[in-house]
Structures are given as C-alpha cells and as structure tokens.
Amino acid sequence: MKILQYFILFILSIHPVHSQLKFLVEDFEGYTNGPSDFKQNGLFTYGYISAKVDENIYTSYRTYSGQRALKLEKGSKVNYGGWGKGLTLNIELDPKEDHFNFYALFPLNGPLLKTSTTFTVELREDDNDNGVFNSETDDTWAYTISVDNVKKNDQWQLISAPLSDFRDSNPGGDHIFNINYKQGKLLTVIINFGTSDNFNPSQTCYFDFICFSKGKLPTGSHIFNAPPASTNDYCNLGTFSMVDKYANFLDESIAFEKLFELPEKKLGVIHLFQPFGKDDGTKTSSYPSVERMNKIISEGYIPMITLENHYESTDKNAKQPNLYSILEHHFDSFFGYWASQIKQVKGTVLLRMLHEFNGDWYPWCLVHNNKDPKVLAKTFCYIRNIFTQNKVTNVKFIWCPNSMSIPQESWNYILDAYPGDDFVDYVGLDVYNGAGNNVIWTSFRKEGIENYFLLTEKFPDKPLLICETASRERLKTESARSQTKAQWIQQMSDALKTDMSKVRLITWFNERDDFKINSSMEAKDAYLNYIMKDDYFTPASKNIFISSSH
C-alpha cells in the first residue's frame, strides 16, 4: 500500500493531449419541449421560424450527437426568420485560429424544392461592455453558409467555419474582433435565414452541437465522434461524502465502493473539507488529524483536503476572514500548525486552498476582495510559503477555479489569479450540473470544457484534477422526456475519454440527496457501467506512482 501514497503523481510523465474544443454554445441535452425551457436557456426564434427539441432524431448515440437536437420548421407568414442563443459571456476567441462549428441536417422533402439552404451566422459582441447589443457601438461578425439539402434523414453535415472568414457587417462598433476576457463579451449567436424564400414552405431542418474550436473541430471514426484519448491517458477516481460535520470519511468512501461490488476497482482519493473552525465562528480550531490521514493512507488511499478559509457558524452575520486578513499575518500561527500536522503524516497529502475563487459564494472569492485576482494569487503563495518555511515536503498544492466564473466580468478571469508554476502542483476544476440556485440542466462537457481548455492550454505540464463533480436528478416538474442523471453520467464518461482526456482525477461529490451517486438506481447503474467497469478509469491498485517534480 505504501506505493499508493504518491497517488496520481506519475501524471507528469504523460505526454500532453492538445485540446481542440474550446467552448460549447449548445448541445440541447438539457432541453425539454416547453417554451419556458427555451427562455430559461437563452434560446429564441424570430419571424417565420418555430422550434422544438427532438429527442428521437438519432438512430444511434455518438459522442457529440447525444440524444437531442434542435428541430426548426416554418411557421409564421412574415418574410424574415431565424433563431439564436443569448450568451453574454466572456469567451477567449482567436480570429486567426478558431472555428465556429455546428452539425446540420436539411432533409430534401420533394423534387421541386431547392437542393441547398443558405443562411448567415452572426456573432454579436459587446464593445462597450454594457451587456446589450447596440448597432451604433457594437460589432456584428457575419459568415454566409450554404448547406446541401439531403435525401436521407441520417446524412448530417459538420460545418466548420474559420473565424477569419467572418466579416464585420455592422457600421457601428470599433470594427475589431475582440471577443475575449478583457474587451468584449459574446452577446449572441444568431442563425439568420433571411427572407422566407430561403426556407422552403414544407421544410424541416435540424441543428446540433454548436461550438467554437481551435482549428477545425476534430472528429474520429464518425463525424459525430470526438477523437479518442491516447493509449497513455487514464483517469483516477475519488469521492467526497460527509453524513455530518464529524463523519468518518474513510467509512463513507469504502461504502461508496461497496455500492458497486467491484473489489478490484478501488478509489484513489478520499476528499474531505476542513474550515478554520467548527464552533461559534470566531476561533481557528479545526486542524487536520494526523491519525485520520495516516489511517486513510494505510488503507491505500490518498487524502485530499480542501482548506476552507472561513468559519462554520450559525450566525449569518458573523465576520469572515478575507484575503487581506491572511496577508496581514492574522492567521500565520494557524497555517503554521496545519503545516506541522501535515508534516507528520506518513505519505502525500493533497491540499486545495481558496477554491472556486471565481464564484461569489465564499469570503475569499475575488468579488469580495476588491475584485483583484492578484490578491488571490499572492495569498495562495503566502500560505504555501508558510509550509515551505516549516519544511513540509509531503504536501501537494491544488489551485482550483470553478467551471463558470460568476459574475462574468473581465476582472474575474481565472488565469489572472494563477499563483505561478513554482507554487502550484496541480490545477483543479469543479464541474456541477444543478449546483446552488442554478436549476438549468447543463451537460458535463458544456459546463466544463471552456476552463478545461484554458487550463490545459496554458499549463500543459500541470496535471488537471476534477476536484468536485456531481449532477442533480431530473426534477418532477421537468418533462419525463428530458435528459436523466444517468444519461448525464454517460456523457461525462464520453467527455473524459475524448475532449477532456487530460483529466487525471474525477472526484464525485457524494453528498446532498439528489447529488449522491445512488440517488436513483439508474444513476448508480450508469456510474457502474460507464465509470467503474470502464478500464479507462484506473483502479488505484494498478497505478504506477512516481514523485512530482515539485
């Protein structure tokens, strides 16, 4: 078991895989057929176009096809029409390298109808950063596409248009393509069919998997299949579970394994959270237990601790520490004691600090610290230096943003908060479907791919760990035809083995009733079949561990 103390540390020897998919505009996997569902997800139609989501369009399931596509038909008699997706997001697009991609199906319904359909893709950007498109101050970048109508319903086409071919079609704005994190948000993606003559009276068409990629969107053996991971890729497994504040994490993780009755598939990581204190919210009293850590390691696991820089208090008005209070030396003795505890542990401890800093729910988030990412980076380095000064050599530090930055502002760009290679051993990411107040259903790939791309592009030598992930169950108020948690897990497995194949650990957040992996028999069976029984997801007992270079 001693060899397992080094956990995923052999990751650095793996040849990096270049990520191509940059941002997923829409895959329609969370949609039902209701109009309120469209509004909630920012999807709209106008003019003569009507839309619904068709979950029976595909004859077989593939990586990108999923189970659903957008179906468009001709409705109103007005002479213009189209559809679009409202985003208002900061996205880093490079007009020299990136492509806009989508899958389209235009069935040929009769011998007298046109054999092609022409429409324009429009990208509307927010030059003046006010969140609203204005023709006098903002740019629209347009590209006209002609798609062949086909005779068979299964003849989908993949369209990949270089952003360099998009042209400024609006007289206003600054006439510079600057959809990025610092200058302008991507407000809207629009498919404009123009006059009614461009859309045949009896025609039905379909769209799916609208996305941006670096270069053309790569495909595998089928146009709907993403390229598979390399033979050297793999992903470890972990879990977090806490029945109460003082739960036995080891017992809970072993119970997680027993759900699947696969003794040969052992988890690699046990994840636990520890705040500054668990009492009245004023005393730094919560420290890692050497005994507990050694017990976890002796059983063949690696402990991953999330140090939460706040107090657990019933008083919602209690004053919480912020980044400045740490930098002002108020907690030096606290971190020093943490360092002395971890130093005594007989094996490697993964330590995640200041996680999800790009959200708005923790006192250490940028939004609560003068909106200054440099302060976050400085604080991370400050805490790590305390461990270095105490000569702690068995701890590996994880820097971990959330999959979505909330709010979407230029100061909340995750890369600006990076502490530097000398202070970060692993980069992390948290990916949820239905966390917090967000009830919108989002596929694993759609939620995680943007920051996955940034992290793997900017830090190719830093192993990437999904420190938290989970999905809620479908709500009773949602259509019985909408995607299930089991299908979400299946697509998570697909994403990790293709577009997100540099992920080296996925840790299921097995807490909260609807997040638990056995919240339904279907969800548990999906995790069993698509994760536990899949050899890509490596059992800890079969890993080859080496030391990190840091």
In this predicted structure, the answer to whether residue 82 has a pLDDT above a threshold of 60 is: yes
155 vs 500, which has greater pLDDT? 500
In this predicted structure, the answer to whether residue 177 has a pLDDT above a threshold of 50 is: yes
Least reliable range by pLDDT among 73-82, 245-254, 329-338, 459-468:
245-254
Q: What is the rounded average pLDDT of the residues 230-259?
A: 81
Query: What confidence tier does 6 reach under pLDDT thresholds 50, 70, 90?
Result: very low
Q: Which class for 541: exposed (0-12), middle (13-18), buried (19 or more C-beta within 10 A)? A: middle
Tokens of 26: 């829409």
Contacts 24+ apart (CB under 8 A), 325-328: 326/379, 326/382, 326/383, 327/375, 327/378, 327/379, 327/382
In this predicted structure, the answer to whether residue 341 has a pLDDT above a threshold of 70 is: yes
Length of the chain: 550
DSSP secondary-structure letter at 2?
A: G
DSSP secondary-structure letter at 226?
A: P
12 vs 176, which has greater pLDDT? 176
Query: What confidence tier does 77 reach under pLDDT thresholds 50, 70, 90?
Result: confident
Q: In DSSP terms, which residues pair with 74 in a beta bridge?
A: 49
> In 3D, which of 137, 216, 124, 120 has the Cα closest to residue 179?
124
Tokens of 86: 């409202």
Sequence-separated (6 or more) residues with CB below 8 Å from residue 431: 403, 444, 447, 448, 466, 468, 469
Given this model, what pLDDT does residue 320 score?
86
Q: What is the rounded average pLDDT of the residues 252-264?
A: 89
Q: Please give the single-letter amino acid code of residue 365.
A: C
Query: What confidence tier does 310 reach under pLDDT thresholds 50, 70, 90?
Result: confident
Structure-token match 């995790």, residue found: 527
Given this model, what pLDDT does residue 148 score?
85
Given this model, what pLDDT does residue 19 score?
41
For 36, 256, 372, the CA distances from 352, given in Å and listed in that order, are 39, 22, 20
Q: Which class for 7: exposed (0-12), middle (13-18), buried (19 or more C-beta within 10 A)? A: buried
Given this model, what pLDDT does residue 204 score?
84
- The percentage of the chain sitting over the pLDDT mark of 90, rounded to a whole number, equals 65
In this predicted structure, the answer to whether residue 243 has a pLDDT above a threshold of 80 is: no
- In a 13 Å sphere around the CA of 134, the CA atoms on its Cβ side amount to 11
Query: What confidence tier does 33 reach under pLDDT thresholds 50, 70, 90?
Result: low
In this predicted structure, the answer to whether residue 364 has a pLDDT above a threshold of 60 is: yes
Cβ atoms of residues 547 and 6 within 8 Å: yes
Angle (CA) 85-86-87 rounded to 5° is 110
In this predicted structure, the answer to whether residue 311 has a pLDDT above a threshold of 90 is: no
Out of 11-20, 21-30, 305-314, 434-443, give the one with best mean pLDDT. 21-30
Phi, psi of 295 (to 5 degrees): -65, -45
Query: What confidence tier does 3 reach under pLDDT thresholds 50, 70, 90?
Result: very low
Given this model, what pLDDT does residue 59 score?
81
Given this model, what pLDDT does residue 348 score?
93
In this predicted structure, the answer to whether residue 396 has a pLDDT above a threshold of 70 is: yes
Cβ atoms of residues 12 and 396 within 8 Å: no
pTM, entire model: 0.92
Domains and CATH numbers, the chain: 2-16+233-542 (3.20.20.80), 21-214 (2.60.120.260)
479 vs 549, which has greater pLDDT? 479
Q: What is the rounded average pLDDT of the residues 385-403?
A: 97
Given this model, what pLDDT does residue 11 score?
38
Given this model, what pLDDT does residue 111 score?
55
Longest dimension (CA), the chain: 81
Q: Which class for 245: exposed (0-12), middle (13-18), buried (19 or more C-beta within 10 A)? A: exposed
Query: d(Cα 549, Cα 78) in Å, to the nearest integer?
Result: 65
Query: d(Cα 166, Cα 148) in Å, to the nearest integer?
Result: 20
Pair type for strands 503-509 and 236-240: parallel
Query: d(Cα 169, Cα 163) in Å, to the nearest integer?
Result: 14
Q: What is the rounded average pLDDT of the residues 303-322?
A: 84
Give 426-438 pLDDT, tens digit per residue: 999 999 998 776 6
Detail the DSSP E strand segments found in 336-490: 349-353, 395-399, 426-433, 464-471
Query: d(Cα 96, Cα 29) in Å, to the nearest integer?
Result: 30
Least reliable range by pLDDT among 304-318, 466-480, 502-516:
304-318
Average pLDDT, the chain: 88
Least reliable range by pLDDT among 62-76, 115-129, 241-255, 518-532:
241-255
Given this model, what pLDDT does residue 107 score?
82
Determine which helix (DSSP H) or strand (DSSP E) holds 87, and give its type and residue range.
strand 81-89
Query: d(Cα 321, Cα 369) in Å, to the nearest integer?
Result: 10
- The percentage of the chain sitting over the pLDDT mark of 70, rounded to a whole number, equals 90
In this predicted structure, the answer to whether residue 359 has a pLDDT above a threshold of 60 is: yes
